[in-house]
């Protein structure tokens, strides 16, 4: 395991396209559900324990297992996210794939890119990127779980002109829950090679999905999601 590689992958400046996405925060701001640091914290906690948990578990599974196309037990792993989440982030997966293949050239990433030319789901790409970088399932899960809240916090700084210090304090307060979510995600992800993707968590966030559908129809928006 390379600690430096983990820092590169988790760095917000890694060109994976996340800066263009708010993770539902833009719609929540417009709807009045996020108005300040306290409501941002509530939003982040909800997102972490639903979409964040699902993404972290799938990333852990992809990092721990062979490429899904080479493993019967994990054959349905790439489809596990859309079955659990109404908004599968293929655009993020496509951009992450470009950055990952340029940074850590790898046959598994090449194979996944050929299998999903329009973009594989971002947590699957993240897990295989972690493998290519010499990282493990827990590292991939941490990247996914932290990204599920840090992207929204960063977006709200821009959307509300929120003090960046307050947004960072929100992430620090949520950090212990990130640890717990990662623990759950890794336990589930490590079961996938032997038991299939059905063991992955399926925590749902209906309001996030409804908001995502509404946001997609906006004529003018700052973020892609």
For tokens 């620090």, name the residue.
172
pLDDT, tens digit, for every residue of 21-59? 899 999 999 999 999 999 999 999 999 999 999 999 999
Helix, strand or coil, per DSSP, at residue 49? helix
| pLDDT for 2 | 66
147 assigned to some structural domain = yes
| Number of domains the chain is built from | 1
Considering the domain boundaries, does residue 195 fall inside one? yes
Q: Which alpha helices (H) appear in the chain, and where do they start and end?
A: 3-10, 25-30, 37-47, 53-64, 77-84, 90-103, 107-115, 122-132, 137-160, 164-195, 206-216
The pLDDT assigned to 69 comes to 45
The range of the structural domain enclosing residue 59 comes to 3-214
Within a domain: residue 224? no
Taking 50 as the pLDDT cut, the residues of the chain under it are: 67-75, 86
Would you say residue 105 lies in a domain? yes
- Domain assignment present for residue 221? The answer is no
Q: Is 25 a domain residue?
A: yes
CATH code for position 133: 1.10.4190.10
Residue 223 falls within a domain, yes or no? no
User: Residue holding tokens 């010499």?
Assistant: 134
Written as six digits, the tokens of 188 are 């589930």
Q: Is residue 54 part of a domain?
A: yes
pLDDT of residue 74: 42
């Amino acid at each position: 395991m390379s600690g430096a590689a983990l820092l590169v992958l988790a760095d917000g400046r890694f060109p994976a396209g996340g800066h263009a996405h708010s993770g539902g925060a833009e719609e929540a701001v417009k709807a009045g559900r996020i108005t300040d640091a306290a409501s941002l914290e509530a939003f982040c906690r909800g997102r972490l324990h639903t979409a964040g948990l699902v993404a972290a578990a799938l990333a852990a599974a992809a990092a721990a297992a062979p490429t899904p196309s080479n493993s019967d037990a994990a054959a349905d792993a790439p489809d596990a996210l859309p079955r659990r989440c109404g908004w599968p982030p293929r655009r993020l997966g496509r951009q992450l794939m470009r950055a990952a293949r340029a940074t850590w050239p790898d046959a598994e990433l090449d194979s996944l890119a050929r299998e999903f030319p329009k973009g594989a789901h971002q947590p699957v790409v993240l897990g295989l990127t972690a493998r290519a970088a010499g990282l493990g399932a827990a590292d991939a899960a941490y990247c996914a779980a932290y990204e599920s809240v840090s992207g929204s916090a960063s977006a709200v700084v821009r959307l509300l002109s929120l003090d960046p210090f307050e947004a960072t304090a929100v992430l620090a307060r949520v950090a212990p829950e990130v640890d717990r979510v990662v623990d759950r995600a890794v336990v589930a992800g490590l079961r996938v090679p032997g038991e299939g993707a059905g063991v992955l968590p399926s925590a749902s966030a209906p309001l996030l999905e409804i908001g995502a559908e509404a946001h997609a129809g906006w004529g003018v928006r700052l973020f892609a999601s």
